[in-house]
A and B are shown apart, each in its own frame.
Chain A
Amino acid sequence: MTEPMIRVRGLHKSFGALEVLKGIDIDIHPGEVVVLFGRSGSGKSTFLRCVNFLEEPTTGSVEVAGVEVSAGPPTRQRKSAIRDLRIRCGMVFQQFNLFPHMTVIENVMEAPLRVKGESTADVRDRALALLVDVGLDDKADEHPIRLSGGQQQRVAIARALAMQPQVMLFDEPTSALDPELIHEVLAVMKRLAETHSTTMVVVTHEMGFAREVADRMCFFHEGIIFEQGTPAEMFAQAREPETQRFLDAVI
């Protein structure tokens, strides 16, 4: 077996007295698509945000594509390691978070230009190719506000992919969308999964997507990974009654 792409050890996260993550250990392999699901407050989003240190873990360590960072004070060295980790790790947010003062193509080009210092010509070609992939090359010069939610989220995916990350984190990417727009975003994610070039960790309630695309599903409950397995196992019969209750409620 190859080295895992993501290795998480002993991850705890508390907000004040409230312990949201009570010890997460997981290995995710290159090209694997992992769906995290569970009730709100179960810690799945917090876990995802700890992977790229948007949330500082209380204790534990995260390794992504060979960059290991442990919980600790924000020293200069640690900050630079976190940046290295983030460059290997794209993220897509529930609220898209596109930069409203930039056009679509400027959104996609921003990080490769500023963070990686690549040349404008290279980045522009790649950005346009990505916009073609998500079906929005005709919107390249629009500002995000002129786009629908589904279109904005597809741009956000292109923006994250423009950094050529080895890992993509999706934090409820379709939860803020109108029902008829969910499909177009899931289609883009599904095509990305089928290339097996990117490791994907997806927090979602879209069980249809999980069944079709995921290699593994992790049920979060009260701050731990309560149960995990392949979609086939999960949907046939979950081992834990708690998991089964949740699945029965959402399907």
Chain B
Amino acid sequence: MTNKADGEAVPQTRHGLAHSLEVASLRVPFRVKVALVWTVIAVLLAVAFTRSGFDVEWMIEKAPAIVKGAWVTVLFSVIAITGATLLALLGALGRVSRNPIAYGVSGFYTSFFRGTPLIVQLFLWYLALPQLAQGLLPQEYAQWFIWPAQVAGIVGIAFNYGAYMTEIFRSGIEAVPHGQSEAAEALGMSYRQRMRRVVLPQAARIVIPPTGNEFIAMIKDTALIGLLGTTLLWADPFRVAQLTGKADFRNLEALIVAALVYWGLTGIFSFFQRKLETRMSKGYVRTVPA
């Protein structure tokens, strides 16, 4: 046995066929090999599905209904990320504030919403909030807090992601060099002006990549909203797949389509995220003048 740690050379033991295979392999580019691996995985899965009686015709017939749910996913995600961004901005300003109320409230917010399961929070908004409202408010106002599943779901996801993004935004704000804020201060700018004009625009560039990651994670987590029992009008791909798959006992086919829809969506948004990152780097990359 050889011990590489001792720095001994690995003995040459490869001869003949093994050697010529190794040489041949060296000529194939790495990415071609990786593509080959992916192909093999796809073929293996296809074989496995076929042998389990995968009903392609059923899938083709039902797929459009499931794919159509992608619009619901995108709509939920866009509304929720907008809400989450606003909450995170407020939360982050609270976390860097010296005002005890702002600091305390934002601290409670991030602690609770990061410390409890998302699915529990969704049910809290959907089922527990109406009970709370009923106990506290007169009937006509209490009704305002009885929300349809999709509303409770979007609010729940926005608050949950807002809490995680609060920490992202906070670290983004803290990553802007202190000299920036000082320079603005020396010019007589107020706290609001310093934040709005100097610190936040620079923090935005720092938080775009992790926020993009949050958005991609959120696209997938909107599938949880279906568990609150959304109606078909507001059903996301997972919900549609569940309903149709269960009805015909074609769960594999239905769920695979749903999975592919989410996979496709995250792929598309990863692409846009990379574009945005390039655009945001203006003023930071020292390109050679044309």
Whether chain B is bound by chain A comes out as yes
* A→B interface (CB under 8 Å): 52, 54, 83, 86-87, 89-91, 93, 95, 97-102, 110-111, 114-115, 143-146, 156, 159-160, 163
* Set of chain A residues within 8 Å of B185, measured between Cβ atoms: 54, 86
B193: chain A residues at CB < 8 Å are 114-115
A-B contact count (CB 8 A): 67
Give Cα distance in the complex from A40 to B283, angstroms. 33
Contacts of B201 in A (CB 8 A): 101
A47 CB to closest chain B CB (Å) equals: 15
- Which DSSP category, helix, strand, loop or mixed, fits chain B's interface? helix
Which residues of B143-202 are within 8 A (CB) of A?
177, 179-180, 182-190, 193, 197-198, 201-202
Complex: how many Å from CA A87 to CA B184?
11
How many residues belonging to B are interface residues under a CB distance threshold of 8 Å?
A: 24
Is the Cβ of A83 less than 8 Å from the Cβ of B187? no
Contact (Cβ within 8 A) B180 A97:
yes
Q: Is the CB of A111 within 8 A of B187?
A: yes
The smallest beta-carbon distance between A61 and chain B, in angstroms, is 19
What are the interface flags for B220-259 relative to A under an 8 Å C-beta threshold, 1 for contact and 0 otherwise? Answer: 0000000000000000000000000000000000000000
B187 & A54 in contact (Cβ 8 Å cutoff): no
Residues of B within 8 A of A159 (CB): 187
Among all A-B residue pairs, the 10 with the closest Cβ atoms: A97-B183, A111-B187, A143-B283, A91-B186, A97-B179, A87-B188, A86-B188, A115-B188, A101-B201, A145-B286
Report whether A111 and B286 are in contact in the complex, using a CB–CB cutoff of 8 Å: no
Knowing A95-B179, A97-B180, A114-B197, say if A52 contacts B186 (CB, 8 Å).
Answer: yes
Chain B nearest Cβ from A114, distance in angstroms: 5
Contact with A along B193-214 (1 / 0, CB 8 A): 1000110011001000000000
Give the Cβ gap from B114 to chain A, nearest Cβ, in Å. Answer: 30
Flag if B187 contacts A100 (CB, 8 Å): no
A80's closest neighbor in chain B, by CB? B190
Choice from A91, A114, A156 contacting B189 with Cβ under 8 Å: A114
Residues of A within 8 A of B279 (CB): none
CA distance A107 to B71 in the complex (A): 43
Complex CA–CA separation, A93 to B177 (angstroms):
13
